[in-house]
């Protein structure tokens, strides 16, 4: 179709002639409401920005002589951070003569790995850095899939995805 005819048709429909593929031979154009098109594109971009996950690195500090209760509490917090999709830097802090026994810190890190094996993967193995022993844990992909499945909402006898609209007649 000739450019003049396309412009006349677009004007008669009170729409715009928008060039879609300028490098094609001949160039491809579409008749549409350009303002609505720009608005829809902005909405898609905004939605995709909202869905992106901010992955931060959280840090949890342990000591070689940590008590059982404190260990459990801190490990539960690490599990919560991993469940939210964050990476966790686990640090064992040595003081004084404790630094002569890095095997104590390694033992604690091994207990953490054992406790969190289904929700975490070791991204950087335990290594001694001065007076600290550091290890980085990342969330396990399989664990995220399980949490999505467990976030189903039960409606009557049927199972609906979380956030789905359900009318009162269905209940």
Interatomic CA distance for residues 65 and 106, integer angstroms: 12
Q: Are 140 and 120 in contact (CB under 8 A)?
A: yes
Whether the Cβ atoms of residue 88 and residue 80 lie closer than 8 Å to each other: no
pTM over 0.75? The answer is no
Q: Is the bond preceding residue 26 a cis peptide, omega within 30 degrees?
A: yes
Domains and CATH numbers, the chain: 3-51 (3.10.20.80), 57-146 (3.30.110.10)
* pLDDT tens digit at each of 171 positions of the chain: 788 888 888 888 888 888 888 888 888 888 888 888 899 999 998 888 887 766 788 999 999 999 999 999 999 999 999 998 899 999 999 999 998 989 999 999 999 999 998 999 999 899 998 899 999 999 987 655 555 545 444 445 555 555 555 444 444
């Amino acid at each position: 179709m000739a450019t003049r005819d396309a412009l006349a048709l677009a004007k008669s429909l009170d729409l715009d002639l928008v060039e879609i593929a300028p490098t094609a031979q001949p160039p491809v154009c579409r008749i549409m409401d350009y303002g609505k098109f720009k608005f829809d594109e902005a909405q898609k971009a905004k939605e995709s920005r909202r869905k992106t996950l901010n992955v931060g690195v959280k840090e949890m500090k342990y000591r070689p002589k940590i008590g059982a209760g404190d260990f459990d509490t801190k490990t539960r917090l690490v599990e919560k951070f991993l469940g939210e999709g964050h990476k966790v830097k686990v640090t064992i802090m040595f003081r004084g003569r404790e630094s002569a026994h890095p095997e104590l810190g390694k033992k604690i890190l091994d207990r953490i790995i054992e406790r969190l094996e289904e929700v975490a993967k070791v991204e950087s193995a335990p290594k001694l850095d001065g007076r600290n022993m550091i290890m980085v844990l990342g969330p396990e992909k399989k664990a995220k899939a399980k949490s999505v499945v467990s976030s189903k909402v039960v409606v009557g006898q049927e199972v609906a995805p979380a956030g789905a609209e359900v009318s009162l007649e269905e209940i």
